[in-house]
Chains A and B, each alone.
Chain A
């Protein structure tokens, strides 16, 4: 939307820049005038700052979510799912299909065997530590190969689960957030008690939001004898990915959908979308308010300076120079707010938080990521507010009849 605005107003912006260099009413005039009326200036700056901060923070959430998922995938790994399942939670891959996939010649091997894992993913409601209710958390049943294949996941405390012992390894990020997830604690799930034997760190990936247990244990506990959720394979070369994916779709015994991990997680990254849309709705409403605040400030600034405008016009400044001057004043005003808003948004940078993914309906952890691009967008956004909020007052100033303006009417 910002881009659309800039394309639409590109000639006007170009003219404003040109006008700032050619025959300018000095910018110092506008700058100092802003501080002559510092209460209104600060109030408007504050309003713009809040809007820009929300704008940047909301976008930094979406960026953070996307980053989380991007960190999760490797180009040479392909995930196989039921067609149109989109996420593992919604997918079913039958046991014999999984076996068939694992025999594919393009699959890489290490010293322990082929790099294939058939995982089962379910969700579990876990009470929150702060007593405010419970949230749905993804539980992944995986294999030792599955652990090896996710090299970003590192054990940081305790040990990995062993088969048939109802053991669970939890991500460090969830420690303290939920009840019963501490090392040595246990919790009930599917008529069994599960003991936490280890803590891992997923390096900010999507796995940081999952509990990991042995795949067979999970299959038994949930009676999912015949079906896995997904099959993850590592290929000998990432260039083989398309051939492998085609085989998965073409083979009549399979007819499954396969995606490279980065592609899969990029789609998962869309989990941030609803949040972003909600944020955008809020931003739009607040933006309208901030634009009116800027407009009001500029209208009252102009009302108090009609005789100055008349004087400038009498001296020989043309309407367009008055228009540019007051337009720049409004832009200065909102850009100051924009800088302040971006500075405030930086306090959120790197902050860890969680949200419910609309794809898996389970908790996804991510960090706010305030990138330079987002700061640029925030400033551009404040520029847009300055243009929209300042145009009509500036236009009014430029159209004032000189004689009336001189009389200060």
Chain B
């Protein structure tokens, strides 16, 4: 599943903006995707005419200035927001057709979230935070425990599993969030500025972990970032400008790899 990241076709600007930074059929397929907000009767377009294919196992960075619509795009393909136009197909499902409950169930199975501010539940300890997505599955308590421990091991936080978020450093909190994103084995992981609140060292560590999820576990990653250093970890950088795809850049130089952390979560 490992990708060099520069073997894809970056595609042409403006048109079908996706390359195939991974391999196989696209896991994300966007056609003429649009999103507008309404203030009264006033329509405020945020995204227009987005055409994009992201292949399974790809690692994509969404970039662009503030207000360019990158977070909105991420929200759409993570199924936490709805498009106002176009086609949105992710992980083999056409999300346009889903009602709220179906979307929630779909997210529970297919998507892992990593947020800028970690978004851990402050009253739950690391173990319990990581277990949250598994409570939505049919797994037994023992099976859940096994998975959570593996995820903890993956992010190298086994010893801190009883710690509450306030007892963890920012870097550790983000690693807990990464473990939570991966514990239920989703195909797609979306990350919204995952290094935005971290210092350089912790940011690098988080990025290496995310890269590990992509390369070793075959997860498709879509990451919103402002940070060019972070974006260099991706195979493909997609630049948005005023709600449209501006250009797609294939990353040729990959950063050196860190040694792998922990073991693989079994499928």
Contact = CB atoms under 8 A, between A and B. Distances in A.
A36 B108 CA distance: 28
A175 B115 CA distance: 76
A316 B108 CA distance: 4
A406 B81 CA distance: 11
A308 B121 contact: yes
Nearest to B81: A403
A26 B133 contact: no
Contact of B101 (A28, A315, A318): A318
Given A26-B135, A318-B100, A313 B123 contact: no
A402 B101 CA distance: 13
B222 to A, nearest CB: 14
A25 B106 CA distance: 18
Mostly helix, strand, loop or mixed at chain A's interface?
helix
Interface in B71-122: 75, 78, 80-81, 100-101, 104-109, 111, 113, 115, 117, 119, 121-122
Q: Which of A25, A28, A316, A403 has the most CB of B within 10 A?
A: A316
B124 interface: yes
A318 B102 CA distance: 9
Q: Which of B80, B104, B111, B117 has the most CB of A within 10 A?
A: B104
Contact of A29 (B105, B106, B113, B123): B123
Mostly helix, strand, loop or mixed at chain B's interface?
helix
Contact of B119 (A25, A26, A403, A406): A406
Contacts of B136: 23, 315-317
B128 interface: yes
Contacts of A319: 100-101, 104
B107 A315 contact: yes
Q: Which of A25, A315, A318 has the most CB of B within 10 A?
A: A315
Given A28-B128, A314-B107, A316-B104, A23 B123 contact: no
A145 interface: no
Nearest to A408: B117
Q: How big is chain A's contact interface, by range?
A: 20 to 34
Contacts of B115: 311, 406
A314 B103 CA distance: 10
B80 A402 contact: yes
A36 B123 contact: yes
Contacts of A313: 80, 104
Nearest to A401: B81
A299 B104 CA distance: 24
A212 to B, nearest CB: 66
A318 B115 CA distance: 20
B119 A307 contact: yes
Given A315-B133, A406-B80, 11 more contacts: A25-B135, A29-B124, A308-B119, A310-B119, A311-B119, A311-B121, A315-B136, A315-B180, A316-B105, A316-B111, A406-B115
